[in-house]
Amino acid sequence: MKTTSGKISNIQNSILGKIKLIGEKIILLIPQKNNVYSKIQIISNNNKITNSKKIIQVVDTSIFKSGDIIQVEPSGKITFLYECNSDSNLIFITNLCNCSCIMCPQYEQNKENFYERNEKLISMIDSKTEFLAFTGGEPTLIRDEFLALLNLCKSKLKKTKIEILTNGILLSDIEYVKEIMLINHPELSFHIPLYSDISSIHNEIVGSEGFYKTIKGFYNLAKFQQIIELRIVIHKQNFERLPQLAEFIYRNLPFVSHIALMGMEYQGNAMNNFDSLWIDPYDYNQILKETALILNQRFMNFSIFNHQLCVLDKSLWKFSRKSISSWKNINIKECNRCNQKDNCGGFFSTSKSHYSSHINPITELKVSK
């Protein structure tokens, strides 16, 4: 989530509010009881404070848009929980998880209850929002809260597609899946990782004996004809068997709607385990080509996420998507000379400078994708 910091005056507790621009003024509307809102103004650091009113001062006021929802901490930390101009907004359900993936970018395991915050957040989100992702941790772990938030989305955000990012382990319980189905949300999809066709390799990567439960989760969702995206994050531990994994998916999970072949984000646990994970994406081009061929020949719907075009073999460009969330997608200085900047997957700002050593601006006049 996008964050910034400010100078907070006369605010003692964490607050959640929605930005409203009124002329030149930036107002934070904070919901109180009975549809009443209190207001706090956000001003530039250059302005002097002349009274003891609650106020937030920031360096750059232009980052706030009408409709954004932010959380402000007494420390001055400002987190954008919802951005009206983004199509990659998410609801962070819990930081608890039943896996400990070697490449997990979220590695905090302190139990925090985000339920009340999320309830308020969903109530404030623009009802025209097209997509929202439920993520964590593992969102299905706090069953009652997860189901309650799904219900709330169904009633408040009738047109919003909800993407559930889950490891699928708890969905091996058919009764749980039935409970989700009983909510009868019209626009759900499930995004589940599978890292290998070999159970022990997958389990080693996720730090749990989850393989067969995840597979059962896939089947339980398929019984209810759910939209399922299968996600494969590619790294040193699993890249060699990508073609076998593609074959496995075709033979055992042909009902998945989409397969995402994803580049790594180096943050959290991924940084702690950097040496056992890092492989230059350029070095698995041939294997990615083989994998793409297998999937394409079998009419499986797939995409390549989080990769830079100049690193990918040209035959793979048509499968590449711009998939990194806008708030953490950057280009580097080499990209300034590139004519494919608008089509390129870009870089994770969170991955520091752990990028391929084959970044090479594309300067050909015409490039056919």
Q: Which residues bind ligand SF4 (CB under 6 A)?
A: 308-310, 331, 334-335, 338, 340-341, 344, 359, 361-362
Using the minimum distance from each CB to ligand SF4, give the nearer residue, 172 or 308: 308
- Between CA 249 and CA 243 the distance in angstroms is 10
Report helix, strand or coil for 295.
helix
Using the minimum distance from each CB to ligand SF4, give the nearer residue, 59 or 330: 330
Q: Torsion angle, CA of 183/185/186/187, rounded to 10 degrees?
A: -150
Q: Whose structure tokens read 């494969």? A: 232
Least separation in angstroms between CB 265 and ligand SF4: 15
- Say which amino acid occupies 134: F
Least separation in angstroms between CB 135 and ligand SF4: 26
Least separation in angstroms between CB 309 and ligand SF4: 4
Least separation in angstroms between CB 330 and ligand SF4: 10
Nearest to 272 by CA among 151, 28, 106: 106
Using the minimum distance from each CB to ligand SF4, give the nearer residue, 96 or 359: 359
Using the minimum distance from each CB to ligand SF4, give the nearer residue, 122 or 310: 310
Using the minimum distance from each CB to ligand SF4, give the nearer residue, 81 or 312: 312
Using the minimum distance from each CB to ligand SF4, give the nearer residue, 104 or 310: 310
Least separation in angstroms between CB 358 and ligand SF4: 9
Contact criterion met (CB below 8 Å) for 243 and 288: no
Least separation in angstroms between CB 17 and ligand SF4: 37
Contact criterion met (CB below 8 Å) for 41 and 22: no
- Tell me the residue ranges of DSSP E strands in the chain: 3-9, 15-22, 25-31, 37-44, 55-58, 69-72, 77-82, 90-94, 131-136, 161-165, 188-193, 227-233, 258-262, 302-305, 320-321, 329-330, 347-348
- Between CA 146 and CA 94 the distance in angstroms is 9
